[in-house]
């Protein structure tokens, strides 16, 4: 099968959806001729013009606020926030407007929009340029959350997100843009709310999403060399969450480790652990554990960033400890 | 009125120090010693130095992502700036801030990773100075792109209404990342906004350090006298890309060249010579001293240790009582 990068896969999704539906348009900082900070929208302005690939000024409040306004009046905007850290600037617009305006205004209008934003550490970004803020939105009713880990999913999930009638916060990981993977030429979508089992195993379940899926797979390979077979579940979306797949895997292995790059307290792992223990309390052979960053702001120095980040070694160690319980 | 010779020499020295240090950083970045994204202010020296040299040590500074010159102008040592950018334990923020530079000992209150977040913070620093009854002034910096964020308007209006001692300085370098000013605002001057908030708005040639210095002195005098904020806009140009990995292909090379011809440092040198303020020998010895200072900063930073792993968990709270486990 054809191999393309995560970045190209995202671009194809945008292009195909813009061709398919004239209501879809892009809006964000430097997304036009410059093609976006991570070059995802490169070339799209040549195909669709300035009318549908709109450079805004440096003002996230209006990028998202205007997105909501356009979405509730018949358009389907795809808004780009240059880095996920800047969601703070438009938090009200995402959390309260995009997430709630449908419900609070009589459940008639839809807010069909996508908020694309790159997240994660990539060396030396520091506390305000490296974060993974998905948990903030997990807590907010009305929002959906996608976090693709492969080029295939990047394309399929973005297409699904654009077609969805609800606001989707779409997290791309900075370290994945150059990742190559198989992506068919034919049209497909990856539905929101369907997890993927990336590796089967019976000893322990590792739940992961986004870049950490790759860390989980690396850890699983290393563990397999020592006779431990881990099942790696890529959640793909946190809302909707594929509870069925998660519980089926947990029921099978009776041991669950959750890994995410974001810090632990109040992270997505807390929600996942709570769901699993609510449903499978008597089935589990050990407590559900989390491998996450510590609850500190992300340090700039590479020497500290390395200590900060969860990785395959930390994950392997956690799995070993869990199996010893 | 022309400032005293010692001030003129100070301006010249600091502009050179800024230029040489940032040029050294280009190299250190290329060699991999500086991680992350590096945003340099080469070309902005007249603004960064011309507005910070007239401040007192106890005044406050809230600069933005091109803050090397501003930090130097306010008195942060080159060596601790460089160590910070290199993530070393000896950096002015212990290696934890990196590009998010700060040094509270000389009033540098930090930079906001989200552009514009600093503007409202400056309003608060001005409020604090007023409430504490000091005559400290706060200077805050942002680009013309950032001036379109709501927080610019909120910060400036509140400071105007409360007559706070805050000086809002727009470094207009024509481009907000790849986007030309003409695509993001209809008027020519950011300073025009001042009218709407009832405060003075001043446009200066941002490559003329003396014009910048004079405008800043007036604004400082107003602020210290309790007459409230001023909005200063300096027109300038950044020579490098938005950051060091940006080749800036969106700009016409002829435009870049034309602005390089207007180099703020060259221009000031010509002035100092024409007015016989410094002799060619004096100039050469200042250049040597500054080169020496930059070399010392590089040696210091390169020989500095990285932070110890435990440092990761230290300092999250001022009062960590009851917080058992950060890990
Ligand atoms: C809220 C926010 N949005 C976007 C960015 C990314 N970003 C950093 S600097 C910049 C352009 C700033 O342009 P301008 O304000 O004109 O300052 P200049 O870089 O020209 O000095 C952008 C888009 C950011 N840091 N913060």
CA distance A44 to A67: 19
Domain that holds residue A175: 3-182
Boundary (domain end) residue, out of A182, A212, A228: A182
Q: Assign 3-class secondary structure to B168-237.
A: EEEEECCEECCEEHHHCCCCCCHHHHHHHHCCCEEEEECCCHHHHHHHHHHHHHHHHCCCCCEEEEEECC
CA distance B166 to B161: 12
Number of domains in chain B: 1
Q: Kindly report the CATH number assigned to the domain that includes residue B163.
A: 3.40.50.970
When scoring A59, A63, A65, A267 by the number of chain B Cβ atoms within 10 A, the one with the most, hence best to mutate, is A59
Query: What residue's CA is closest to ligand 1, atom 19?
Result: B176
Q: Kindly report the CATH number assigned to the domain that includes residue A100.
A: 3.40.50.970
Boundary (domain end) residue, out of A182, A212, A234: A182
State whether the Cα torsion B58-B320-A315-A251 is positive or negative.
Answer: negative
Among A56, A89, A127, select the one facing B100 at the smallest CB separation. A127
The whole-number pLDDT of residue B326 equals 59
Query: What residue's CA is closest to ligand 1, atom 20?
Result: B176
How many Cβ atoms are within 10 Å of B289's Cβ, its own excluded? 13
Do A119 and A219 have their domain in common? no
Do A256 and A284 have their domain in common? yes
Which residue has tokens 């900063």?
A: B297
Give which of A151, A81, A92 is closest to A118, Cα–Cα. Answer: A81
The whole-number pLDDT of residue B325 equals 65
Share of chain B above pLDDT 90, in %: 95
Do A76 and A111 have their domain in common? yes
By CB neighbour count within 10 A (0-12 exposed, 13-18 middle, 19+ buried), where does A301 fall? buried
Do A209 and A61 have their domain in common? no
Closest residue in chain A to residue B36, using alpha carbons only? A124
Inside any domain, residue A295: yes
In chain A, alpha helices (H)? 6-20, 44-52, 60-71, 91, 101-104, 134-138, 151-163, 212-225, 243-253, 268-280, 302-308, 312-324
Inside any domain, residue A188: no
ipTM of the complex: 0.89
Any idea what DSSP says for residue A132?
Answer: -
Please state, rounded to an integer, the average pLDDT across all residues of chain A: 97
Q: Kindly report the CATH number assigned to the domain that includes residue A302.
A: 3.40.50.920
For chain A positions 32-91, those within 8 Å of chain B (CB to CB) are: 33-34, 37, 55-61, 85-86, 88-89
Integer angstrom CA distances of residue B65 from A88, A160, A236, B76, B206: 18, 37, 34, 16, 18
Do A237 and A299 have their domain in common? yes
Inside any domain, residue A152: yes
Do A207 and A115 have their domain in common? no
A59-88 pLDDT, tens per residue? 999 999 999 999 999 999 999 999 999 999
The whole-number pLDDT of residue B323 equals 82
B220-259 pLDDT, tens per residue? 999 999 999 999 999 999 999 999 999 999 999 999 999 9
The whole-number pLDDT of residue A76 equals 98
The predicted model gives B267-273 an average pLDDT of: 97
CA–centroid distance, A58 to ligand 1, in Å, is 6
Number of domains in chain A: 2
Integer angstrom CA distances of residue B119 from A152, B61, B107, B108, B315: 42, 11, 15, 14, 25
In this structure, are residues B219 and B228 in contact, taking their beta carbons and an 8 Å threshold? no
Do A204 and A172 have their domain in common? no
The whole-number pLDDT of residue A202 equals 98
Whether residue B1 is predicted with pLDDT greater than 60 in this model: the reply is yes
The whole-number pLDDT of residue B321 equals 83
The predicted model gives B23-39 an average pLDDT of: 97
Inside any domain, residue A245: yes
Integer angstrom CA distances of residue A306 from A5, A85, A123, A229, B37: 26, 20, 9, 27, 18
Which residue has tokens 């792993």?
A: B309
φ/ψ region of B138 (left if φ > 0, alpha if ψ in -120 to 50, else beta) reads beta
> Any residues with CB less than 8 A from the CB of B169 and at least 6 apart, and which?
B47, B51, B139, B140, B141, B142, B231, B232, B233, B234
The whole-number pLDDT of residue A262 equals 98
Inside any domain, residue A93: yes
Reported confidence tier of residue B320, pLDDT bands at 50, 70, 90: confident
Domain that holds residue B149: 5-326
DSSP string, A72-109: TTT-EEEEE-SSGGGGGGGHIIIIIIITTHHHHTTS-S
The whole-number pLDDT of residue B327 equals 54
Coil, helix or strand for A116? Answer: strand
Print pLDDT tens along chain A (325 aa). Answer: 999 999 999 999 999 999 999 999 999 999 999 999 999 999 999 999 999 999 999 999 999 999 999 999 999 999 999 999 999 999 999 999 999 999 999 999 999 999 999 999 999 999 999 999 999 999 999 999 999 999 999 999 999 999 999 999 999 999 999 999 999 999 999 999 999 999 999 999 999 999 999 999 999 999 999 999 999 999 999 999 999 999 999 999 999 999 999 999 999 999 999 999 999 999 999 999 999 999 999 999 999 999 999 999 999 999 999 999 8
Do A244 and A135 have their domain in common? no
By CB neighbour count within 10 A (0-12 exposed, 13-18 middle, 19+ buried), where does A240 fall? middle
Q: Give the H or E element holding residue B46.
A: helix B45-52
CA distance A236 to A219: 19
Do A99 and A125 have their domain in common? yes
Do A51 and A153 have their domain in common? yes
For B149, phi and psi rounded to 5 degrees?
-85, 150
Please state, rounded to an integer, the average pLDDT across all residues of chain B: 96
CA–centroid distance, B150 to ligand 1, in Å, is 14
Inside any domain, residue A231: yes
Coil, helix or strand for A115? Answer: strand
Contacts B150 to A, Cβ<8 Å? 59, 61
Closest residue in chain A to residue B100, using alpha carbons only? A126
The predicted model gives B270-299 an average pLDDT of: 97
The predicted model gives B250-274 an average pLDDT of: 98
By CB neighbour count within 10 A (0-12 exposed, 13-18 middle, 19+ buried), where does B43 fall? buried
């Amino acid at each position: 099968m054809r191999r393309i990068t995560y970045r190209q896969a995202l671009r194809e999704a945008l292009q195909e959806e813009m061709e398919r539906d004239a209501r879809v348009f892009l809006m964000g900082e430097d997304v036009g001729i410059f093609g976006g900070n991570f070059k995802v929208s490169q070339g799209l302005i040549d195909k669709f013009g300035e009318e549908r690939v709109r450079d805004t000024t440096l003002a996230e409040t209006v990028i998202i606020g205007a997105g909501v306004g356009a979405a509730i009046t018949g358009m389907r905007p795809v808004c780009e926030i240059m880095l996920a850290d800047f969601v703070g600037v438009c938090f009200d617009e995402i959390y309260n407007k995009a997430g709630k305006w449908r419900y609070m205004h009589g459940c008639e209008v839809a807010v069909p929009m996508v908020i694309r934003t790159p997240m994660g550490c990539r060396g030396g970004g520091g506390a305000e340029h490296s974060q993974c803020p998905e948990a903030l939105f997990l807590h907010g009713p009305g929002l959906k959350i996608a976090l693709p880990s492969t080029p295939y999913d990047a394309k399929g999930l973005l297409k699904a997100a654009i077609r969805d009638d609800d606001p989707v916060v779409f997290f791309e990981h900075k370290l994945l843009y150059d990742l190559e993977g198989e992506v068919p030429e034919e049209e497909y979508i990856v539905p929101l709310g369907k997890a993927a089992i990336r590796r089967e195993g019976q000893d322990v379940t590792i739940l992961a999403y986004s870049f950490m899926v790759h860390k989980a797979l690396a850890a699983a390979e290393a563990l397999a060399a020592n006779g431990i077979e881990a099942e790696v579940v890529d959640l793909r979306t946190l809302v909707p969450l594929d509870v069925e797949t998660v519980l089926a895997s947990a029921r099978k292995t009776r041991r669950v480790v959750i890994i995410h790059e974001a810090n632990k307290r109040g992270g997505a792992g807390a929600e996942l652990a709570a769901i699993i223990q609510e449903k499978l309390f008597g089935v589990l052979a050990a407590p559900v554990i989390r491998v996450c960053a510590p609850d500190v702001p992300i340090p700039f120095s590479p020497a500290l960033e390395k200590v900060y980040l969860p990785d395959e070694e930390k994950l392997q160690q956690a799995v070993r400890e869990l199996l010893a319980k | 009125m022309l400032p005293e010779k010692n001030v003129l020499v100070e301006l010249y020295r600091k502009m050179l120090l800024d230029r040489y240090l940032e040029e050294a950083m280009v190299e250190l970045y290329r060699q991999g010693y500086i991680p992350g994204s590096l945003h340099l202010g080469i070309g902005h020296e007249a603004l960064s130095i011309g507005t910070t040299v007239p401040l007192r040590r106890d005044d406050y500074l809230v600069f933005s992502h091109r803050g090397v010159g501003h930090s130097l102008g306010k008195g942060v040592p080159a060596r601790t700036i460089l160590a910070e950018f290199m993530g070393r334990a000896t950096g002015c923020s212990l290696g934890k801030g990196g590009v998010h530079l700060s040094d509270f000992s000389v009033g540098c209150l930090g930079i906001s990773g989200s552009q514009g977040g600093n503007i409202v913070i400056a309003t608060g620093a001005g409020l604090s100075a007023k409430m504490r009854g000091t005559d400290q002034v706060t200077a805050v910096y942002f680009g013309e792109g950032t001036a379109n964020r709501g927080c610019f308007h909120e910060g400036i209006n509140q400071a105007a209404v409360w007559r706070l001692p805050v000086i809002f300085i727009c470094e207009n370098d024509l481009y907000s990342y790849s986007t030309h000013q003409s695509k993001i605002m209809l008027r020519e001057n950011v300073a025009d906004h001042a009218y709407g908030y009832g405060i003075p708005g001043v446009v200066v040639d941002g490559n003329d350090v003396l014009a910048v210095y004079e405008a800043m002195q007036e604004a400082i005098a107003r602020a210290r006298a309790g007459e409230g904020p001023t909005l200063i806009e300096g027109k300038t140009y950044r020579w490098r890309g938005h950051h060091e990995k940006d080749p800036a292909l969106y700009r016409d090379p002829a435009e870049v060249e034309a602005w390089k011809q207007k180099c703020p440092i060259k221009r000031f040198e010509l002035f100092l010579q024409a007015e016989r303020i410094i002799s060619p020998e004096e100039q050469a010895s200042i250049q040597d001293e500054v080169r020496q200072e930059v070399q010392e900063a590089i040696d210091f930073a390169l020989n500095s240790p990285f932070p110890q792993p435990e440092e990761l968990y230290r300092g999250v709270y001022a009062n960590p009582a009851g917080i058992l486990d950060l890990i």
